[in-house]
Amino acid sequence: ARQLLTEVQDSMMLDLQIGETLAKAEALAAQGQREQAQKLLRDVLKVSPGNSRARAMLESQLKPVGTPESQPSPEATIAMDAFELGSFSGNAPTVATPAAGPLKDMEPAFTLDALDSLDAPFEAPGIQSTVLTGPSPGLVPAETAKVQQYLKEGQDLYASGQYQDAIDVWTRIFILDESNTEADALIARAKEAVNANQGEIEHSLTEAIAAFNAGDCGRARPLLEKVLQSFPGHREALYYLGRINEQAAVAPAAPPQPPPVQPSAFSAPPPIFSAGLPEGPREQTAPAASGPALSAGSPDDFEFEENLDLPTGEALRSSSPPAPVGGFEFDSPATEQGLAAPVSPVARPTTAPEQPKAPDAFESFTWDQAPPAEV
């Protein structure tokens, strides 16, 4: 199909060039330049020997000047048009005409190179060049080297697992060479690698990003590493993994201290701490002078159950001492004022000998009297 199209284009260009050359020959003949017009007509007949119009014009130019030019018959015009229409098919047969008179030295030659001879003698702007453009020429050496560079760079990226980057590099080749089949095959292979396990990769990546945004880097890291195992050059996975590494490299700062809480009116009062005495042996104090000296003993020496029957109330107000309880007697020392000292009763054995008592600081008194004023 391409060859047939090329042949049709060549035939059309040839007919166009012949028409322009015949018009130029007519103009030269009208200006009286018969020799140049005859030369153009001979060149046309070399290219297209069956062109009846060029042959008729040449015969008219070769006639003597006094001979009137004969008009072409309608049949000849129809035949000429039929030949021009059939020439577009590209398979127009070469018509062999009998050599007669001055045309016997012409040889049929239907070649495109012969069209160059039509432009050589004339530089007039009305005649165009007949250089035909075929398919686009090959790449220049610089472009070829650039294509090879893109191919190698993309293959290196593909080998390292960076499939998308490899596709981007191979796509640049089409800027220089639109029909590079090698780049097409490489891009198709890289797309297959990208689409493999795409669903699993997207699921793991989504969970990793959600964990990273929630601050759970310990869960996001293995998910990102799993994505990179299937797709080593995944851009988003590499980005978030880099962010996690940056956060891990930074030392965690001390948490800020909370502001002091002001106590409310309904809060419990603060505990009261008493200043304790220094630890160590304590000095034994002398017994009070108001009673007999008692030897130090443990609380187990006393009978607590019997001491619970101590007199209270009216028994303490009576002037007579209470009766001894359980073999003990209680005495209430009196002062000179006749008031009993408000001291706790001291239990002592009844068998102990009586000793003279020293006067107490307070006299014995009854509960109805007011306590003495302080001195």
Residues 230 and 162 in one domain: no
Residues 224 and 191 in one domain: no
Number of domains making up the chain: 3
| Count of C-beta atoms within a 10 Å radius of residue 130 | 18
Please report the pLDDT score of residue 104 as a whole number.
46
Q: Could you list the pLDDT tens digit for every one of the 375 residues in the chain?
A: 666 777 777 777 777 878 888 888 888 888 888 888 888 888 887 777 778 888 888 888 776 655 454 555 555 454 455 444 444 444 444 544 444 444 444 444 445 455 455 454 444 444 344 333 333 346 788 888 899 999 999 999 888 878 888 888 999 898 888 888 899 999 998 888 877 777 888 888 899 999 999 988 889 999 998 888 877 778 888 899 899 988 888 755 556 666 666 666 666 666 665 555 555 556 665 555 555 555 555 555 555 555 556 666 665 665 555 555 555 554 555 444 444 445 555 445 555 556 656 555 455 555 555 555 554
Of 211, 234, 249, the residue that ends a domain is: 249
Of 119, 153, 183, the residue that ends a domain is: 119
Q: Has residue 343 been placed in a domain?
A: no
Residues 30 and 115 in one domain: yes
Q: Has residue 69 been placed in a domain?
A: yes
Please report the pLDDT score of residue 240 as a whole number.
92
Host H or E run for residue 348 = strand 348-349
Question: Side chain identity at 224, as an amino acid letter?
Answer: L
Please report the pLDDT score of residue 213 as a whole number.
92
Q: Has residue 304 been placed in a domain?
A: no
Please report the pLDDT score of residue 42 as a whole number.
80
Of 119, 152, 176, the residue that ends a domain is: 119
Residues 92 and 184 in one domain: no
Residues 29 and 93 in one domain: yes
Q: Has residue 291 been placed in a domain?
A: no
What's the pLDDT tens digit per position in 110-146? 454 554 554 544 444 443 443 333 333 467 888 888 9
Q: Has residue 288 been placed in a domain?
A: no
Q: Has residue 220 been placed in a domain?
A: yes
Closest alpha carbon to 10 in 126, 111, 138: 111
Residues 9 and 114 in one domain: yes
Q: Has residue 175 been placed in a domain?
A: yes
Residues 10 and 47 in one domain: yes
Please give the C-alpha separations between residue 367 and each of 48, 116, 189, 212, 290, in angstroms, as whole numbers: 165, 158, 116, 84, 21
Residues 215 and 112 in one domain: no
- Contacts from 158-161 at CB under 8 Å and sequence distance 24+? 158/186, 158/189, 158/190, 158/193, 160/232, 160/233, 161/231, 161/232, 161/233
Q: Domain containing 6: what range?
A: 2-119
Residues 115 and 79 in one domain: yes
Residues 241 and 180 in one domain: no
Residues 115 and 149 in one domain: no
Please report the pLDDT score of residue 159 as a whole number.
87
Residues 154 and 215 in one domain: no
* Dist. CA 40–CA 111, nearest whole Å: 16
Q: Has residue 21 been placed in a domain?
A: yes
> Would you state the structure tokens that stand for residue 347, as one six-digit string?
């239990």
